[in-house]
Chains A and B, each alone.
Chain A
């Protein structure tokens, strides 16, 4: 009974997170300017990280937790580097 409740709740959460990722991808494709695309990429990273956490709840393994941590780190670095590029035209000066 409790496994059924949790299973359906996780399925609903994963569908909602998938929709959120699709909307972020739509913003990346649509633009209209470079900063909108970077914002969409950051949202996509955060939503994918949360999706990994829901997979981790479902399976109960810590492997997904580590994947989520790495995705958070990489997303932060990517967004900062892209913002720096938009500001100065170079990442490392």
Chain B
């Protein structure tokens, strides 16, 4: 369970900081998702994990692979670019659907359609 690659000390410390920091940001985002009280507030929280958390963890992974193979390995950039491009698209679509539903039921606290 506790096996990990044998990196030089500076690389191990850097990778550890990146991974733990990214996981902490993701956890903060998930706590916001669970704790905030309205849907339009809750949409903001998970983006913390999808952008900053993912970027830090993927940076740690790329650094670890690069130091292990002593060359520049960065296929994690694929995941990072993909997450960066798709997160706003999905949340815009989701919030537009939620707005449409709330307006159709004329709920409280929804901006009117002019």
Q: Which residues of A contact B (CB under 8 A)?
A: 1-14, 16-17, 19-21, 23-24, 26-27, 33-36, 38-40, 42-43, 46-47, 49-50, 53-54, 56-58, 60, 62, 65, 68-69, 72-73, 76, 79-80, 82-84, 86-87
Contacts and interface: CB of A to CB of B under 8 A. Distances in A.
B15 A57 contact: yes
Contacts of A68: 79
Interface of B: 1-9, 11-13, 15-17, 19-20, 22-24, 26-27, 29-31, 33-34, 39, 42-43, 46, 49-50, 53-54, 57-58, 60-61, 64-65, 68, 75-76, 78-79, 82-83, 86-87, 89-91, 93-94, 96-98, 100-101
Contact of A58 (B4, B11, B27, B39): B4
Contacts, number: 194
A16 B33 contact: no
A80 B9 CA distance: 43
8 contacts: A4-B2, A13-B23, A23-B34, A27-B33, A47-B26, A50-B26, A58-B5, A80-B90
Binding site secondary structure of chain A: helix
Contacts of A49: 54, 79, 83
B12 A6 contact: yes
A57 B97 contact: no
Nearest to A40: B33
A50 B97 contact: no
